[in-house]
Structures are given as structure tokens and as C-alpha cells.
A = this chain, B = another copy of it.
Amino acid sequence: MEKKALKQRILESSLELFQKNGYHGVTVEQIVEKANTSKGGFYHYFKSKDELLYEIHDVFISYVIKKAQETYDEYETPILRLCGMLHSFIKVFDVYNPYITVFYQESAYLQAAYKEVINEKRDQYRKLIERVIKEGQERGDFRREVPANIATMSIIGMINWSYKWYKRDGPLSIEQIGDVFRDLILHSIATEEGLTEASEQNQLLGKKEIVSEK
């Protein structure tokens, strides 16, 4: 934590500390010390500790939305779009890992005004996934009897929860986990036709299908 711009240093230091001790388990004093600066430096860049928390939230959710939207635009079919979004979101876990923990653990402590902004964006993300699923149902790729909103939340839940157990240095790589998630999700909502289409398309893109070891 040295040469970078001070604001960035503060963000990274706080993130690391928040992840370990929670927002309320960390004092501004500690952040300032880890970032190698002072109270003055901190309050020069942030109006308050609350604002810092908000900024962490906003950086993260904005990035996730951007990635999802890009993926949506990149592909044409619901299946490819869904797989792509899964893939991109899973990958965020590697890069933005500390952000994620703070995002899901501490959002309760956002001030009301900030919380509203974040919830708005969170909803935007949800709606994009739901849209992909609905389009897939219309096209016959996904089973129509599954309520799209519940399916959406299931998928989001399944992935999001991994922030609780996934460890970068654990036995499972993020790619492995992503492949299994894709497999599970496709099997859970795709129709027969959708499933075969999916395995064809994913083969084209060089994505691994999970297979029995023996």
C-alpha cells in the first residue's frame, strides 16, 4: 500500500479490513493506519465512514451490471446469454472478492438514502436475468412451467451464496465451480431441446461439460 493514489489505497485497505472484521469491527483509525495516512487524509476524500461504505457498494454493483449488460448484447440466444452471464458473474468473484463480502454482509448498515440507490441498481441486475429467462421460455429453450421470478432468485442465490464458502486458495477452482453451476442451472430450467442446443453451443465456445470421472 504505497505509491497509488491515496483514495485508492484507502478503499483497498478498508475493504480488506471490512472483509475480516465487518464494517463496525473496523475504526477509521485502523483504516488510516493501514493505508499509511491520517484522519485528515481520509476525510479529505470521504465525507464520512458511511460514504466510504456506499462507494464500495456502488463500485461493485455498477461493475456487475455493466458486465451483465455487455454479455447480453454480445450474444443472441437466451441460452448463450444466460451461460455468458453466469460465466462473467462467477469471474467477478475472483476479482472483486472483498467487495462482494462487504456488499452482502454490510448493506444493512447503509444509510437510507444510499441504500435506495444501491437497491435500484440491484434490481436492475435482477431484471436483466429475469428477462433472459422469460425470453428463453418464449423461445422454448426453458421450461414454461417454472415461474421466471423464482427461477431468477434461485440462480442468483446459488451463485451469490458462494461468497460464503468459496476461497481463492481452496481445492476448487472458480472455473470448476462455474462449470458445475452452469450444468445444474441448465438442467434445472432448460427443456430437452434447450439442453441439447446448450451442449452444442457450449462445445463451440470451448466450454467444458462436466463428466463422470469413472
Which residues of chain A have a CB within 8 Å of any CB of chain B?
21-25, 105, 108-109, 144-147, 149-151, 153-154, 156-162, 164-165, 172, 176-177, 180-181, 183-185, 187-189, 210-213
| A19 CB to nearest chain B CB (Å) | 9
| A126 CB to nearest chain B CB (Å) | 9
On chain B, the residues within 8 Å of A176 by CB distance are 147, 150
Tell me whether A25 and B108 are in contact (CB under 8 A). yes
Tell me whether A161 and B160 are in contact (CB under 8 A). yes
Tell me whether B109 and A24 are in contact (CB under 8 A). yes
Query: Which secondary structure dominates where chain A touches chain B?
Result: helix
On chain B, the residues within 8 Å of A147 by CB distance are 176, 180, 210
| A208 CB to nearest chain B CB (Å) | 12
| A82 CB to nearest chain B CB (Å) | 14
CA distance A24 to B25 in the complex (A): 10
CA distance A210 to B145 in the complex (A): 7
CA distance A201 to B154 in the complex (A): 24
Tell me whether B157 and A161 are in contact (CB under 8 A). yes
Contact of A183 among B105, B146, B159 (CB under 8 A): B146
